[in-house]
Amino acid sequence: MPPAFHAAARALLSDPLTNKGTAFTEAERDRLGLHGLLPPHVGTLDSQIARRRRVLDGMADDFHRYAFLRELQDSNEVLFHALVQADLPRMLPLVYTPTVGAGCERFSEIWRKPRGLFLSHPNRDRIPDILADPALDRVKVIVVSDGERILGLGDQGAGGMGIPIGKLALYTACAGIHPAEVLPILLDVGTDNAGLRDDPLYVGWRNPRVRGEDYGGFVDSFVSAVTDRWPGVLLQWEDFAGHNAHDLLARYRDRLLSFNDDIQGTAATAVGTLLSAIHRTGASLIDQRIVLFGAGAAGSGVAELLVQALRAEGLDEAAARARIWAVDRDGLILSDMAKLTPPQMRLARHPAEVAGWMRDAEGGLGLLETVRAVRPTVLIGASGQAGSFTEAVVRTMAEGCARPVIFPLSNPVSRAEAHPADVLAWSDGRAIVGTGSPFGVPGVTQVNNVYIFPGVGLGALAAGATRVTDGMFMAAARALGAMGGAGETLLPAIENLRSVALRVAVVVAAAALADGVASAGDEELTEARIAALMWDAAYN
């Protein structure tokens, strides 16, 4: 055989989008020159899944399982996605939260093969050339991060690439976006994590973070190159620090089809789960007193969607905001505090409202003092402050509420505001609990953004939307809240995430049409039409 034939055979096996491993048939091995490069056994996708499951079962911990799955994804995309789709309850925590947190922290240690694009600041003038790669012609969905606020772990620099990779694995698993149509991108503008810069294994740009106009210009160059390369692409902003997250969303949401999952996806997931919880209590949304702990990108996003939901129930703007008390690192947010962000200003209470409140030893109004005064029915944590929902906080809340709704949502597990078993114990089993990460506690719902963002993306693409509107996220939240779960859980089972994504996509596409941002018509947005767009992992 000529050398070119051998080279083509090796290239076929080296490309994760074309490699089938032992599942290449005898006829394919003859035609493609694969004999000798593969063992003689001809397998099936099912037998390959069984082999990988056995390897996973023999591993000592979830981090090594995560690393193993990342290598599998880089060698055989169909097998990786088939394995994930076959057992979502087990695989979801391995490919994303909570294990992805360790994957980001140790990213440089386990990096093996290129996946996605690292667009570094020193290469800012080369971005259009980098994006021009013909292998990227099919891209429809991009998830991008700059690695500054990874989960509750802070600045992980180039290690933040683990988040776009993980999110896009879920786009494929849940929404059926073909793996050739997704692209993870890390904007490497340096890191302020000195430990990473000093680590000889660190794979990123060893420089303090670029900020200010230089940062803004870099991101703008990136967005311009993306819109030139892929008109109509969906871009998801992920794990940017709060001061950039809101600015970038506001700047670009009307320029290309884009949304921020930390702000909008978290909000829709939390509000949808809250609607399900309130339905269990028999009360209405406008009867709730809501304390929000953590008013960064995620927390403020939850608050704004709650205001939208409350207004839909008939309240005016002022009355809706009066139902929400936001507590951040300096305590209850008051309008006379210095250095409040614009989203925090919208949540601030007037100092006169708290004039008679009991204060802590330093004269402050922390979470416990706020709970004592407000007697909330709902407590939502998006702070990244582990253990902040103390026994005193939970017991005080439970004293004034028969079925308190308590959501410690921060990820990973090490950053959760409380362990759900403790919340249940301190509330005498009366609390309705949702957590950001899986804890394995019976009756506790995992309030994971995976219930929202894949369906929002699929629906936006199916509708040919030109922008992602607030109405599309509100529709997604209401649809999720209406789905409910079995037994004590508030959301559908993890194994049903594909049907959840499809249902969310249908209502999001309809909302896009209603909001006047869709290019598709009613006849193209039926559930059957959208379902037909979803890819299943199988060999051709």
What are the catalytic residues? Answer: 96, 167
DSSP string, 25-94: -HHHHHHHT-BTTB-S----HHHHHHHHHHHHHT-SSHHHHHHHHHHHHTT-HHHHHHHHHHTHHHHHHH
Do β-strands 405-408 and 432-435 pair in parallel, antiparallel, or remain unpaired? parallel
DSSP string, 470-527: HHHHHHHHHHHHHH--STT-SS--GGGHHHHHHHHHHHHHHHHHHTT--SS-GGG-SH
- Give the closest residue to 445 by CA, choosing from 487, 474, 410: 487
Contacts of 492 (CB under 8 A, 6+ apart): 451, 483, 484, 485, 499, 500
Contact between residue 276 and residue 479 where contact means Cβ atoms under 8 Å apart: no
- Give the closest residue to 404 by CA, choosing from 531, 283, 237, 527: 283
410: left (phi > 0), else alpha (psi -120 to 50), else beta? beta
- Name the strands in the sheet holding 290-293, side by side, starting at the edge strand that comes first in the sequence: 331-332, 324-328, 290-293, 378-381, 405-408, 432-435, 445-446
- Give the closest residue to 189 by CA, choosing from 217, 166, 151: 217
- Give the closest residue to 449 by CA, choosing from 291, 237, 218, 205: 237
What is d(CA 289, CA 273) in angstroms, rounded to the nearest whole number? 16
248 Cα distance to chain centroid: 17
CA distances from residue 403 to 283, 424, 436, 512 in whole angstroms, order as listed: 10, 11, 20, 36
What is d(CA 51, CA 39) in angstroms, rounded to the nearest whole number? 15
What is d(CA 520, CA 448) in angstroms, rounded to the nearest whole number? 29
Residue with tokens 């905001």: 321
Taking 3-state DSSP, the helix, strand and coil percentages for the chain, each rounded to the nearest 5, stand at 50, 10, 40
CA distances from residue 314 to 139, 317, 320, 377 in whole angstroms, order as listed: 42, 10, 9, 20
Please tell me what DSSP assigns to residue 362.
T
**End-to-end Cα, the chain, rounded Å:** 26
Structure-derived torsion over alpha carbons of residues 519, 523, 529, 530, reported in degrees to the nearest 10:
40
